[in-house]
């Protein structure tokens, strides 16, 4: 069977030129996606949820790595200054605006 014959006869189906359109009322099962559509939509939803979990996990890793890197850089800066740098606790402590 040649490729042209397959398209003309088999795969074109009722949508080929010259096919008559059905006359009559369409039934809900004629136009619904059926169980295949449900499974396809469910699989798509499962993939989206899984990707969401993976993205959240990756963002947490990136955030943790940034914290570790910032702490390491602060430690290296304080060691380079001879230990006279401001500690993290001193940076976070509230400062008094009153002159003593």
pLDDT bracket for residue 88 (50, 70, 90): low
At residue 24, the pLDDT reads 74
Q: Which residue has the tokens 């949820």?
A: 49
The answer to whether 88 and 74 have CB atoms below 8 angstroms apart is yes
pLDDT bracket for residue 82 (50, 70, 90): confident
What is the rounded distance in angstroms from the CA atom of residue 21 to the CA atom of residue 12? 14
pLDDT bracket for residue 93 (50, 70, 90): low
pLDDT tens digits, 16-73: 555 556 667 877 777 888 899 999 999 999 999 999 999 999 999 999 999 999 999 9
Residue 1 scores a pLDDT above 50: no
Tokens at 1, concatenated: 């069977």
Cα angle value 74/80/86 (rounded, 5°): 50
């Amino acid at each position: 069977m040649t490729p042209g014959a397959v398209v003309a006869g088999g795969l074109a189906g009722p949508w080929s030129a010259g096919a008559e359109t059905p006359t009559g009322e369409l039934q809900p099962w004629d136009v619904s996606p059926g169980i295949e559509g449900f499974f396809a939509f469910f699989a798509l939803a499962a993939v989206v949820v899984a990707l969401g979990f993976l993205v959240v996990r990756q963002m947490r890793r990136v955030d943790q790595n940034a914290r570790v890197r910032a702490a390491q850089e602060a430690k290296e800066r304080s060691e380079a200054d001879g230990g006279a740098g401001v500690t993290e606790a001193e940076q976070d402590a509230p400062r008094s605006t009153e002159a003593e």
